[in-house]
Amino acid sequence: MAQFTLDCFLESGNAYKAALMLELCGADWTPRRVAFFTGETRSPEFRDRNAMGEVPVLTHHRPDGDVVMSQSGAILDYLAGELGHFGADNETERLEILRWMFWDNHKLTSYTATYRFMSLFQKKTDDPVAKFFHARAVNAWTVLEGHLADRSFVACDRPTIADLSLCGYLFWPDQIGMDASQYPNIQAWLGRIAAMPGYKRADELMPSGLDPETATA
C-alpha cells in the first residue's frame, strides 16, 4: 500500500493542489477516484469519513494508524511538515504563507471554482449567479496579478504551499473564463510552477470523476 491515499478526481482544482504537492515532493501516493458527479460525496459513507462532504481527503497510512484529513489548505500544511518541502523557514514566513492561503480559500479559489462549476459542468454561463462569481474571481485575479508584479512567488522568494494552493484552478484559463493575456504576471508565475522538477498536469495525476458511461456530469 502506498504511504498516502488521496480521495480525488481530475475535475477538482482543490484536489489538484494536494495531488501536485504529493507529486512535487516525490511522495509515495495513490489517487482514489471519487465519483463526485454521481453523488458520492453526498453519500452517508463519505460523510462518515468527512463531515464537510468535500474532496480532497488525504489518508496518511501510518504505523500507528491512519491520519485522515480534509480541506486542501490543512492538507498542504500537513504535507509540508511531513515531507519537508514547500513550508516556512520561520514564523514570519509561516504567517505570510497562511495569510495567502486563507485569502485563496476566501476570495480566489472559492469564486473561481464555483464559476467554473456553473459554466463548465452546469452550462450556466449566462446565469446571473455565475456572472457574479466571475466578477468576484476577476477581482481576486487582479489582486494576485498586482502582487506578482515584483516577485517570483506569492509568499516567499521560493515556491511554497501558498503557490500550490493559489494555482489550483489557474492552469485552466479557458475553463475559468480568464483572458490569460490580461494577466501576464500570473502567466509567468504559472510558468515558473510548471517548470519545477516533477511538475505534472492534473490529468496526469488524477482520474476523471465524470460518469464513464456518459462522459458527462
Interacting residue ranges for a second copy, rule: CB under 8 A: 51-53, 69-74, 77-78, 81, 91, 95, 98-99, 101-103, 105-107, 109-110, 127-129, 132, 143, 146-147
> Considering beta carbons, is residue 93 or 207 the nearer one to a second copy?
93
> Considering beta carbons, is residue 93 or 200 the nearer one to a second copy?
93
Nearest distance, CB of residue 129 and a second copy, angstroms: 5
Cβ 105 vs Cβ 98: under 8 Å: no
Nearest distance, CB of residue 124 and a second copy, angstroms: 11
Pairing mode of beta strands 29-33, 57-62: unpaired
Alpha carbons 33 and 211: distance in angstroms, whole number = 11
Nearest distance, CB of residue 41 and a second copy, angstroms: 12
Q: Which residues pair with 69 in a beta bridge?
A: 58
Cα-based distances in Å from 49 to 67, 68, 88, 112, 171: 11, 8, 30, 27, 30
The count of residues in the chain is 217
Nearest distance, CB of residue 75 and a second copy, angstroms: 9
Cβ 197 vs Cβ 26: under 8 Å: no
Alpha carbons 68 and 70: distance in angstroms, whole number = 7
> Considering beta carbons, is residue 85 or 147 the nearer one to a second copy?
147
Nearest distance, CB of residue 58 and a second copy, angstroms: 11
Alpha carbons 119 and 156: distance in angstroms, whole number = 34
Nearest distance, CB of residue 145 and a second copy, angstroms: 11
Look-up: residue for cell 502582487? 147
> Considering beta carbons, is residue 82 or 200 the nearer one to a second copy?
82
Alpha carbons 166 and 135: distance in angstroms, whole number = 18
Rounded to 10 deg, the angle between the 109-116 and 128-147 helix axes is 140
> Considering beta carbons, is residue 102 or 199 the nearer one to a second copy?
102
Closest among 130, 129, 107 to 176, alpha carbons compared: 130
Nearest distance, CB of residue 160 and a second copy, angstroms: 14
> Considering beta carbons, is residue 105 or 175 the nearer one to a second copy?
105
> Considering beta carbons, is residue 53 or 184 the nearer one to a second copy?
53
